[in-house]
Amino acid sequence: MADNKNLYYICGLLACGIALGAFAGMSGKSSAPSAPAAAETPAAESEQTPEAAPAETDTGITVAKVAESGTGITVTKADDWSAQFPNQYETYMMNNDNSEVVEYTEEHPYIQRLYAGYGFAKSYGSARGHTYVITDLTSTGRPHKLANCFTCKTSDFTAKALNDGDAAYAMAFEDFENQITDPFGCFHCHSNEPGTMYVTHTYLANALGSDLNKVDAATLSCGQCHSEYYFDPATKATSFGYTSMAGMNPDDILAYENAIVDGEGNMFADWVDEENGIRKLKVQHPEFETFLGEGSPHGSSTSMLQLTCADCHMGTATAEDGTKFTNHNWTSPLDNQALLDANCSQCHKDLKAEVEKIQGEYWTRVDADAEQLKSLNDKLTEAINAGTIADDKLEDCRMALRSAQWYWDFVFVENSNGVHNPKLTAHCLDQAETFMEQASGLMQ
Ligand code: HEC
Ligand code: HEC
Ligand code: HEC
Ligand code: HEC
């Protein structure tokens, strides 16, 4: 990253116009780092015209339509759009090429201890192409009880939730399984109007409230699933631990989940560690919160060039007849040479090397922290069994290790391995280390 200063210099002083030019037709927007106030100007909410989509606000953001619920919605399947939208459909089917799966319990054996007592300790396959979602869900070694597991897997479930509300989430897994006709599907992002951007997963709209229109529709479309959620203990509905963009960060989401307390005074937990009684939380793929978080080079409101998830993971492709369209094969930007050449190379001479460097440092720290967390979990178990930890310290120690694991997991399960937001990643690991020190002190 020796080029950092150059990048800032070129981008900040000279090339904002060039950057905008390069992103013509994409949603890239530039704003001088010295003028965050301008970048923070919210999308003019009063000026949106939801009827005429895709609408653009005066800040250049494409506003998403929000799907209506309770209206007898049915799904037009991806296959049924193939004749009308051959380019989008063909590239969508190319997701089948992304078929490799890594088994995390083997690659990172420490999770067998950190997640012990929870399904992910037994089986945790890495993500692959969108078209595999249903196969991967039904073939995991993890137990599934409720249909809420289908939230991010099939548009049939998205329609079910729109039609039936929270009751859909509490259905038995098996009762819904045989209703699936459209694994993944266009519906998630376009409803039944391909090309128009929709939020069909209404919990996202609920979580962002009036901030929804501050986020570009293309980023929202991914945030419907690539985000941190929990199942509401009462309704089993998929829910987010924030109610505005201000609360969309690991510190506030932890506080939010800590404040959910049951009738017996226990804090919300995804599961309880059977050996040492820590009430643990499992973070899910928080790409949305990480990418939009403070410090994100291309995602925060103060970035000098704001991009959407689609700008880096979809990009523009050209068909044989010269038609330009949005590539619907969701890949790593490093696997999309056309995108790198056309849109990124003017500022990133060797993005692959930058990414490798960040990810290398990430794994060194993530692995070391995980090993330490693992041994602190075991140490607490031993202290409990030997009766060497006083009751008043025990609860504090459990709390410290719950927090440490939360922060560590927020980074471990984020699919970019540190790249979406190196600053937020460092903050999380700093927090994890501070809480581990605290726990260690309590066990002296
Ligand atoms: C995960 C979200 C997502 C899914 C699923 C999805 N799209 Fe899109 N689609 C997008 C985004 C993002 C754009 C670009 C919108 C923009 O630039 O404002 C887009 C654009 C389009 C456009 C506008 C023309 C173009 O190419 O830019 C069409 C038509 C389209 N999609 C069809 C489809 C079809 C057909 C399917 C299913 C086979 C599908 N989409 C599935 C996100 C999605
Ligand atoms: C309906 C839920 C849903 C939506 C919407 C969605 N994704 Fe995904 N995505 C998933 C799931 C689930 C997987 C993992 C699939 C598997 O492994 O079977 C995945 C996998 C991926 C992968 C492959 C990851 C890998 O390691 O190979 C990429 C890249 C990706 N998504 C990007 C995006 C982008 C960008 C958007 C928005 C334009 C988006 N996704 C929208 C659910 C979704
Ligand atoms: C500035 C470009 C950029 C933006 C914007 C961006 N990402 Fe990424 N993303 C990356 C890079 C780079 C990687 C690491 C790819 C690799 O390791 O090959 C990555 C990795 C991922 C992965 C894992 C894919 C894989 O093949 O391993 C997923 C899933 C993902 N991003 C989703 C998202 C979502 C969802 C958003 C928006 C909330 C988003 N990204 C925004 C650049 C971006
Ligand atoms: C106008 C210049 C500019 C353009 C164009 C640009 N970037 Fe960046 N990008 C930057 C700057 C500046 C940073 C912050 C570097 C830092 O913090 O060290 C950055 C950071 C990143 C990061 C975070 C990791 C890192 O290297 O710091 C990723 C990933 C990334 N960009 C991907 C992309 C992709 C993919 C594209 C093309 C779709 C792109 N960028 C286009 C200027 C640009």
Which range (90-104, 318-332, 428-442) has the least confidence?
A: 90-104
- Residue 415 CA: which ligand 2 atom is closest? 26
Question: What is the C-alpha to C-alpha distance for residues 355 and 418, in angstroms, rounded to an integer?
Answer: 9
- Which residue's CA is the nearest one to ligand 3's atom 40? 309
**Cα 178 to averaged position of ligand 2 atoms, centre (Å):** 23
Backbone dihedral angles phi then psi of residue 248, each to the nearest 5 degrees: -90, 55
Q: How wide is the angle at C-alpha 115 spanned by C-alphas 280 and 220, nearest 5°?
A: 75
Nearest to 402 by CA among 442, 350, 367: 442
**Residue 340 contacts residue 333 (beta carbons within 8 Å):** yes
Judge if the beta carbon of residue 222 lies within 6 A of ligand 2.
yes
Per-residue confidence (pLDDT) for residue 199, from 0 to 100: 97
**240, pLDDT greater than 70:** yes
- Residue 332 CA: which ligand 2 atom is closest? 29
pLDDT tier, 32 (very low <50, low <70, confident <90, very high otherwise): very low
Please tell me which residue, 13 or 340, carries the higher pLDDT value. Answer: 340
**Residue 345 contacts residue 405 (beta carbons within 8 Å):** no
**Cα 175 to averaged position of ligand 4 atoms, centre (Å):** 46
Judge if the beta carbon of residue 57 lies within 6 A of ligand 2.
no
pLDDT tens digits, one per residue of 334-367: 999 999 999 999 999 999 999 999 999 999 999 9
**110, pLDDT greater than 90:** yes
- Residue 309 CA: which ligand 1 atom is closest? 12
Question: What is the C-alpha to C-alpha distance for residues 110 and 116, in angstroms, rounded to an integer?
Answer: 10
Mean pLDDT of the chain: 86
List the end-to-end C-alpha distance of the chain, in Å, as a whole number.
Answer: 41
* Ligand nearest to the Cα of 227, by number: 3
- Which residue's CA is the nearest one to ligand 1's atom 22? 195
Q: What is the mean pLDDT of residues 302-328?
A: 95
Per-residue confidence (pLDDT) for residue 9, from 0 to 100: 29
Backbone dihedral angles phi then psi of residue 412, each to the nearest 5 degrees: -65, -40
Nearest to 251 by CA among 19, 428, 16, 393: 428
Q: What is the mean pLDDT of residues 419-442?
A: 98
Q: What is the mean pLDDT of residues 87-105?
A: 89
- Which residue's CA is the nearest one to ligand 1's atom 6? 186
pLDDT tens digits, one per residue of 49-94: 333 344 455 567 899 999 998 878 999 999 999 999 999 999 999 9
Judge if the beta carbon of residue 188 lies within 6 A of ligand 2.
yes
pLDDT tens digits, one per residue of 157-174: 999 999 999 999 999 888
State yes or no: cis peptide before 42, omega within 30 of 0.
no
387: phi > 0 → left, psi -120 to 50 → alpha, else beta; which?
left
- Which residue's CA is the nearest one to ligand 1's atom 3? 189
Instruction: Name the amino acid, one letter, at 354.
Output: E
Q: How far is CA 396 from CA 171, 262, 269, in A?
A: 37, 19, 16
**Cα 305 to averaged position of ligand 4 atoms, centre (Å):** 8
pLDDT tier, 11 (very low <50, low <70, confident <90, very high otherwise): very low
Q: What is the mean pLDDT of residues 247-260?
A: 97
Centroid of chain to Cα 118: 21
**Residue 202 contacts residue 66 (beta carbons within 8 Å):** yes
Provide the percentage of residues in the chain whose pLDDT is more than 70: 85
- Which residue's CA is the nearest one to ligand 3's atom 14? 416
Per-residue confidence (pLDDT) for residue 56, from 0 to 100: 52
Per-residue confidence (pLDDT) for residue 136, from 0 to 100: 74
Nearest to 102 by CA among 129, 130, 124, 121: 124
Please tell me which residue, 430 or 42, carries the higher pLDDT value. Answer: 430
Q: List all residues 6 or more positions away from 417 whose beta carbon is below 8 Å from its beta carbon.
A: 358, 359, 362, 363
pLDDT tier, 33 (very low <50, low <70, confident <90, very high otherwise): very low
